[in-house]
Amino acid sequence: MSEQHEDSDVYLKRQIPDGEYIASYEGYSTATMFSQKTAKVCLRFRIVEGPRTNTLLERWYSVGGLYGPPGENGKFKAKGQTSRMILEFLTCCPDATIDRLDRIPMTNWRGGLYRILVRTVDKNHERLKLPHQVRYSTIDCVLGRFD
């Protein structure tokens, strides 16, 4: 799949086999969903080895709020100090210091390789079963750094 296709919102997301992969961090963005009521942060990772090399996948987190407009490298406040985002961040970046939920040093993700757990999305937000043609893969969890 070309880079042009990955960035376009007209193409379907890819499905790959469930399991653990090694990936590099590509960046993050903020977004609002569900009638602009739910603030989210999306981390993007690219698989770096094996037959799925170069596949781009996303890890979505709910956050407490956005500061400014949503978009690439947007400002946000984490949901809480025990939220999934904070737990995964500190597992992967154990030397990071966080004093405030609105000042998470996202640059700490850069330059590392990470173990990610991928799963197939097979139901929609209404819990309706998705036909196999529109199922897609997402990152279920960032397990830690790969050293």
Tokens at 70, concatenated: 């949503």
| pLDDT at residue 6 is higher than 70 | no
Q: What is the pLDDT of residues 38-83, one digit of tens each?
A: 899 999 999 999 999 999 999 999 999 999 899 999 999 999 999 9
- The amino acid sitting at 73 is N
Q: Where does the pLDDT of residue 137 fall: very low under 50, low under 70, confident under 90, or very high at 90 and above?
A: very high
Residue 88 CB coordination number (10 Å): 19
Q: Measured between alpha carbons, how far is 102 from 10 in angstroms, rounded to an integer?
A: 33
| pLDDT at residue 5 is higher than 60 | no
